[in-house]
Amino acid sequence: MTSLRDALLKVLFGPVGRLLPFAACRHIARPIAAIAWRAGFRRAITMRNLELAFPTLTVDQRERIGRASLVSLVTVFLEILTLRHLSRREIRRWLVVENLELLTRIGPAGGLLLSGHVGNWELLALGAADIAGIPFAVVVKEQRDGRQLERTRTARGNRLIPTGRGARESSALLRSGGVVAMLADQSASEGEHAALLFDTPTWTYSAPSRLALRFRPTVIVGFAVRESGGRYRVVLEELHHHDLPDTPEGAEALTARYVSMLERTVREHPEQWVWQHRKWKNTPGVRYD
């Protein structure tokens, strides 16, 4: 089964990704997502999350967001197949980076780039590094996909840091003035920071904040938001932390600042966040059927 899966993924990331137009992905995604929604794919989880985040919306309103979010997720999966085959000209066509100088002016203290599962986060990491001419070290979970996603992620010069070595290698890179990128909105377990997201205590990984306060790099936050024509736009913002001490309390405050920026973006574009996972599974009082 493993060899069959690897062979299929090789075809999808190879010939299929080479032939599939990036512009067509969002159109192909619609019927696939519609079938998946009717089949109940992660629908109960999605609706529970939307109920927690937007309690004042009607069920119909939350369902519209849920359907659109699944279209967005399928679109991203299809687009990922094409990424390693995009030319630099195509990358610049499909990704617009505002405030690029935040990247190009990163100083000797290095940079820590934070994003989340909004829009197309894979295009953001690959494309922003290519446009800025600055390779990132991206902290990622290892995948059992025959290294297909790894090949895509490193196609434009980025390198990968497995999460198991994330703290140690990120520390070494920041100490030497490197640039580290990570998705900071993944669900954490108890013992991490319980920041308020949509007024719900949300366990959030503290590593980004601890790294920022220990090594004092430039911290930049950005989310690749899809526009109506299929192009993505990211507005880079600096996450200031110079007023915070390198203490557990300082790290908790910095985590809350990131989560606030994440929530603002998700409220503006709720259909582009990944609602399909048990985001609040470790929050006391929250249950998923």
Q: Average pLDDT for residues 193-222, to the nearest whole number?
A: 96
Mean pLDDT over all residues of the chain? Answer: 96
- How many C-beta neighbours within 10 Å does residue 18 have? 11
Please report which residue ranges of the chain form alpha helices under DSSP H. Answer: 2-11, 17-19, 25-38, 43-53, 59-83, 88-94, 101-104, 121-132, 148-153, 166-175, 207-215, 248-268
Q: Average pLDDT for residues 118-130, to the nearest whole number?
A: 97
Amino acid at 253: A
Q: Average pLDDT for residues 239-245, to the nearest whole number?
A: 98
Closest among 207, 96, 210, 97 to 161, alpha carbons compared: 207
pTM of the model: 0.94
pLDDT of residue 208: 97
In the block, tokens 């990120």 appear at: 170
**CA–CA separation, 284 and 116 (whole Å):** 23
SS3 (DSSP) at 56: coil
Residue 33 reports pLDDT greater than 80: yes
